[in-house]
Structure 1
């Protein structure tokens, strides 16, 4: 899906950071499964669900990804620590261009706040 909503949810600059962080998927021996889904379309569908709060089963068909595939990949990416890696990569990118005021961050280590 390449429409205005998709480009707004996942602009090229974000995808350039995200794409390399996503683990690959192999076809399942019994066939079917998630191997044929475009990773960017799946990521965009996941971002849509997470930012709107819509139920997975209500994911619009216009994303070109089934709700089951989007949820399965979200779960796999969560287990693989993709969200922490993505958070760090975005902060590194913004920090390298001077867009983050690190002096405002207190007690933060690897994305976890210390008491």
Structure 2
């Protein structure tokens, strides 16, 4: 129940407004505005970014759902997220749960909006981190080449070679942010 004394109205009204604002792009504009504010305050850590995804159950199905290979084929979605060095979400995409993580790398990196820089710094907004940390799901030649074309240094675990302990000391920020979103 939502408290009426705070002006929330009925639960149905809140649900309807949430969907209206979503359709109008209010949340995307709010995210952009917050990123610009953080960028102007020099609070975005462009030295490194981390990328990962997490599966989310979707028992009712929907547009961006598919059978989840990690949950006995039940319907689900995936959140693909790239964060800065401090865990600030730079971009997020949703797909069906059966879409492989590596297929979303280029689209996700290209969806990082240009973010304003501090006054006195470079005039052009920035949208590329220096390095990108990712797990073995992104360990393909195609992913590494896509990052190289964008001028981003790949820090991706290699299958059968790297342990997750060494590279995980920078990737934990994306894991933490994904866990906050899944609460």
Structure ID, larger Rg: 2
- TM-score using structure 1 length: 0.41
Q: Which has the higher helix share?
A: 1
Name the TM-score, length of structure 2 as normaliser: 0.27
